[in-house]
Amino acid sequence: MQPLEITAGTAISAMGRGVDATLDALRTRRSGLRPTDFGGIAEGHIGRVDGVEAHALPAALAKYDCRNNRLADMALNTDGFSSAVAEARAHYGADRVAVVLGTSTSGILSGEDAYRDRDPDTGRLPAGFDHEHTQDLFSLARYVRAVLDLRGPAFVVSTACASASKSFIDAHHLIEAGVCDAAVVGGADSLCRMTMRGFAALELISPSPCRPCDAARTGISIGEAAGFALLERSGARPAGSQSGIRASMLGHGASSDGHHMSSPHPRGEGAILAMRQALARAGLEPGAIDYINLHGTGTRANDAMEDVAVTELFGAATDCSSTKGWTGHTLGASGILETMIAALCITHGFKPGCLGVSQVDPAFRSKVLFDNLEGPVHRVMSNSFGFGGINCSLIFGPAA
Amino acid sequence: MMRVFVSGVSVWGPGLAGWEMARTVLRGAQPWTEEETMPPAPSILAANERRRTSPVVRLALAVAQEATAMSGHEPASLHSVFGSSNGDGVVVNDILQALAEPGRDVSPTQFHNSVHNAAAGYWTIGAGTRQPASCLGCHDATMGLSLLKAAAEVHVEQVSVLLCVYDRPLPEPMAEKRPTTSAFACALVLTPEQEPGSIASLAVRYRPDLADPALEAPRREALQALYVGNAAARALRLLESLATQRPDRIELSCLDQSIEIIVTPCSTAPAS
C-alpha cells in the first residue's frame, strides 16, 4: 500500500497527558497503575486518568457530557491536536476530513448511573439521561466531529479491544477510495463498572498490577485512554505546525479467528494471518521489523497465544514487549495509545521492556524485552486482539 | 464514486420473512402485513454455539446466511461489515440491571456477548472464516455509513464483502430513551465485478448536503412506520429497488450530510 502519514497525534492515559508525559513515563519506567478506586470497586489495579471529573466540555456541546467524551475532549486539547486538524480542514475543506473512531463501551458509565437512579415506583430512567449523546456508540464520533467542526463522513467502529486499531484500517479504505482526503482516527475507552465487573466475572483481573509475559502473570489491569491521529496521503499538503507525533502507517492486517467469542485461537492462527498481511501490505520481510508492541494483556491465554504467533513469523529474532504494565489494558483505545508509543519509539530511538516482570514465562520462545533498550528503531509492529476473535496488526515507520 | 455489485440480498422484519417472501411484498404483488415471525435458527453454527446466541444474533445471522447462499460465494471467503445501532440491548440491559443492584454479579457469558461485534464474532465462527469483520454503530445513520464502509472495502481491496445491518427493540427501561418498534435486518453481498448472478450495481458516494427525505423513505406507504421505527429499516427503499429491478436514486441522511446510492439493475428483464 501507499503509506499514509500521521501528521499529528496525541494520547492520554494513566502515564500522563500527551506524548511528552508518555515518553517520560516510558523512559523512567514509571507505571501509572494504582489500586482500584473507581465505581465502588476495590479489586485489582487500574490505569485511571486524573482530572476527568473536573473537565468540562464546551457549553454548546454539553449534551455530550459523559466520562468518555470528556476523556476524548482532553486528548483533543493536548499536543495541539485540534489546531493541527484545523489546518487540515482549512486545506482540504471540512467535507473532506473523516472521523473514524473506535470505542468498546462509549459513554456507558452514564447508563450505569442512570440505572442506579431509576424511579423506584415506575422503574423509569431519569429524565436528564441523554442516551443518544452519551451511552450510544456513535456519540464519540459525533462529538469529535462537532467539536473539530468537520463535515466529512463519521463513524464508530466497535470491535472490542481491537476498535482503535481497526479505525486506522477503515479510514485507510475511505482515503484510498477517495471518499475523503484525511481522517481523524483513534478513539477512547473510559473506566466503567461494566468492563471492570465483567472482566472480574471472567476471572481475568489480576490482584496485583498486571505483568504481561511474566511466568506468574495473573491477568489484566483495566485502564482508560483516549488518543487521536490525523491520517493523510503522503505529501498531499505542506507540513503543518508540529503537533505531538509524526510517523507513517506502512501496512495493516486484520483477520478473524472464527474460533471462540472470548478465547483466542490457541495456535494464534488469526493473529499470524493479521501480522503476515500487515507485512505483505507494507512490502516488508519479518526481519525489517525492529520492535513489536504486543497486545500483551497479561492473561495466561493471550500472552501464550501471542508468543506462539510472533515466534511463528519472527522466531526469536525480534524484540517485543507489552506496555500494558504502564497503563493497564485500555481496551478499545489500546490501539491508538500503543500507536503513539510506537511512534515515540521510532522518533526517540528506544524500546520499552515489559514492566514488573521478574521472570519471563519460560515457555515463551519470542524475544521478550524486560528492560528498556536504547538504539535506532525504524519500524514497529503494533498488535491488538479483541473478543469475538478479531485481530489487527499495524506497522509504523518514520515520517516521510 | 464507488461502484459495487449486489450478488445476494436478504431481509427479515415484520411481514418480510426472508427475501423470497419479502420480494413479492416489496414489489407490491402481495400486501404487507405487520406480522413478526422469529428468524430461523442459524444452521451455520454448531448446536453448542447456537444455544448461546441471543435473538439479535439470530436475526443478523439469518439474513447473513440467506444473502450469502444467494450470492453463491463461500461464507468463509467473504470479508464482512456489520452495522447496528442498538447492538444487543437485552444483554446490555441485563448487565446494567446487575450493576445497579448490590450483591448481583455480572454473568461472564453475558459480558462477552455484550460486545458490539458479537454478531460478527458468531458469524465468523459459523462461517469458519479468517476474513476480517468491521462493526459499526452509528445510531440512525448506521445503514448508510455501513454501506459506505463496505463499498470502500470492496473498491479498495477488490474483495467481496458481506454487509449485514440489524436492530432489535431495546427492553425497558432503555426503550423509552431509544424507541425501536420492531426487529429488522438486511444483508447484501457486494462484489467488485459483475457476476452472472448479480442483481444490480450500486454507485455509492458521500454527498455534502442533507438528504432529501423523499429519496430516503420507502415508496410503499404501508412501510413508512417500519422505516421510521428501526435504524436498519433505512434500507427499505434500496430493498424495494432491488425487488422491483427498478433504477433508483436513494439518499440516506447521515448527520448533516448524506450518502447517495444510484441503483442500476443488472437484469434487462422488465419489472413485474
Q: What gap in Å lies between CA A92 and CA A76, rounded to an integer?
A: 20
Q: How far is B197 from chain A (nearest CA, A)?
A: 25
User: Domains plus CATH for chain B?
Assistant: 7-199+220-240 (3.40.47.10)
For chain B, positions 116-135, list CB contacts with chain A under 8 A: 116-118, 120-122, 124-125, 127-135
The 10s digit of each residue's pLDDT in B35-88 is 999 999 999 999 988 888 899 999 999 999 999 999 999 999 999 999 999 999
- A233, A260, A276 - which closes a domain: A233
A133, A252, A265, A329: the catalytic one is A329
Q: What is the pLDDT of residue A287?
A: 98
Q: How far is B270 from chain A (nearest CA, A)?
A: 33
Q: Is there a single domain that holds both residue A227 and residue A353?
A: no
Q: What gap in Å lies between CA A63 and CA A156, rounded to an integer?
A: 18
Band (B151; pLDDT cuts 50, 70, 90): very high
The 10s digit of each residue's pLDDT in A49-61 is 999 999 999 999 9
- Whether residue A258 lies within 8 A of chain B, CB to CB, comes out as yes
Q: Is there a single domain that holds both residue A284 and residue A190?
A: no
Q: Which residue of A has its CA nearest to B49?
A: A260
Q: Is there a single domain that holds both residue A168 and residue A263?
A: no
Q: Is there a single domain that holds both residue A197 and residue A128?
A: yes
Interface test with B, best of A61, A112, A169, A173 (most B CBs within 10 A): A173
Q: Is there a single domain that holds both residue A255 and residue A360?
A: yes
Section A370-396 average pLDDT: 97
Residues of chain A contacting residue B157, judged by C-beta atoms under 8 Å apart:
173
Say if A176 falls within a structural domain: yes
- The dihedral of CA B91, B94, B97, B99: what is its sign? negative
Q: Is there a single domain that holds both residue A222 and residue A258?
A: no
Count of the separate structural domains present in chain A: 2
Chain position carrying cell 443492584 = B101
End-to-end CA gap in chain B: 30
Section A247-266 average pLDDT: 93
DSSP string of A10-65, one letter each residue: EEEETTEESHHHHHHHHHHT----EE--BTTB-SSEEEPPTTTTT----GGGGGG-
Band (B272; pLDDT cuts 50, 70, 90): very low
Q: How far is A142 from chain B (nearest CA, A)?
A: 8
Chain position carrying cell 489546531 = A83
Write the CATH number for A116: 3.40.47.10
The 10s digit of each residue's pLDDT in A337-352 is 999 999 999 999 999 9
Q: What is the pLDDT of residue B269?
A: 44
Question: Is A161 among the residues known to form the active site?
Answer: yes
Q: What is the pLDDT of residue A369?
A: 97
Band (A249; pLDDT cuts 50, 70, 90): very high
Say if A334 falls within a structural domain: yes
Question: Is residue B271 scored above 60 in pLDDT?
Answer: no
Interface contact flag, B108 A256, Cβ < 8 Å: no
Q: Is there a single domain that holds both residue A184 and residue A284?
A: no
Between A291-295, B157-161, B181-185, B264-268, the lowest mean confidence (pLDDT) is in B264-268
Of the candidates A95, A255, A261, which has its C-beta nearest B113's C-beta?
Answer: A261
For chain B, positions 153-192, list CB contacts with chain A under 8 A: 153, 155-157, 172-174, 176-178
SS3 content of chain B, % helix, strand, coil (to 5): 40, 25, 35
A252, A295, A320, A345: the catalytic one is A295
More confident residue, A260 or A333: A333
Of the candidates A118, A132, A197, which has its C-beta nearest B139's C-beta?
Answer: A132
Say if A350 falls within a structural domain: yes
The 10s digit of each residue's pLDDT in A296-311 is 999 999 999 999 999 9
Taking Cα atoms as reference points, which of A157, A140, A186, A133 lies closest to residue B87?
A157
Q: How many CB atoms lie within 10 A of CB B131?
A: 21
Q: What gap in Å lies between CA B235 and CA B158, rounded to an integer?
A: 24
Residues of chain A contacting residue B111, judged by C-beta atoms under 8 Å apart:
194, 198-199, 201-202
CA atoms in the 13 A half-sphere facing the CB of B111: 19
Say if A211 falls within a structural domain: yes
Q: How many CB atoms lie within 10 A of CB B145?
A: 28
Q: Which residue of B has its CA nearest to A193?
A: B99
- A183, A208, A233 - which closes a domain: A233
A66, A133, A161, A354: the catalytic one is A161
Interface contact flag, A112 B134, Cβ < 8 Å: no
- Whether residue A38 lies within 8 A of chain B, CB to CB, comes out as no
- Whether residue B143 lies within 8 A of chain A, CB to CB, comes out as no
Q: Is there a single domain that holds both residue A255 and residue A340?
A: yes
Q: Is there a single domain that holds both residue A31 and residue A75?
A: yes
Q: How many CB pairs under 8 A join A and B?
A: 209
Question: Is residue A164 scored above 80 in pLDDT?
Answer: yes
Q: What gap in Å lies between CA A391 and CA A264, rounded to an integer?
A: 10
Interface contact flag, A159 B139, Cβ < 8 Å: no
| CB A276, CB A34: distance < 8 Å | no
Question: Is A173 among the residues known to form the active site?
Answer: no
- Whether residue A137 lies within 8 A of chain B, CB to CB, comes out as yes
What's the maximum distance between 2 C-alpha atoms anywhere in chain A? 65
Spell out a b/e string for A180-189, using b for 16 or more CB atoms within 10 Å of the CB, else e: bbbbbbbbbb
8-state DSSP, A80: T
Section A46-74 average pLDDT: 98
Interface contact flag, A112 B96, Cβ < 8 Å: yes
| CB A383, CB A279: distance < 8 Å | no
Say if A244 falls within a structural domain: no
Q: Is there a single domain that holds both residue A361 and residue A323?
A: yes
Instruction: Give strand pairing partners of A185.
Output: A100, A229
Which amino acid is located at A284 in the chain? L
Of the candidates B148, B153, B155, which has its C-beta nearest A153's C-beta?
Answer: B148
Interface contact flag, A124 B257, Cβ < 8 Å: no
Section A187-210 average pLDDT: 97
Q: What gap in Å lies between CA A287 and CA B261, rounded to an integer?
A: 45
- The proportion of chain A whose per-residue pLDDT surpasses 90, expressed as a percent, equals 94
What's the maximum distance between 2 C-alpha atoms anywhere in chain B? 65
Residues of chain A contacting residue B112, judged by C-beta atoms under 8 Å apart:
198, 202, 261-262, 387
Q: What is the pLDDT of residue A143?
A: 98
**Model-level pTM greater than 0.90?**
yes
Q: Is there a single domain that holds both residue A267 and residue A183?
A: no
Say if A357 falls within a structural domain: yes
Q: What is the pLDDT of residue A243?
A: 75
Residues of chain B contacting residue A158, judged by C-beta atoms under 8 Å apart:
87, 115-117, 135-137
Residues of chain B contacting residue A194, judged by C-beta atoms under 8 Å apart:
95-96, 99, 106, 111, 114
Interface contact flag, B177 A199, Cβ < 8 Å: no
- A233, A260, A281 - which closes a domain: A233
Say if A242 falls within a structural domain: no
Say if A32 falls within a structural domain: yes
Q: Which residue of B has its CA nearest to A109?
A: B96
Structural domain for A287, as ranges: 250-398
Q: Is there a single domain that holds both residue A204 and residue A261?
A: no
Interface contact flag, A258 B130, Cβ < 8 Å: yes
For chain A, positions 102-121, list CB contacts with chain B under 8 A: 104, 106, 108, 111-112, 115-116, 118
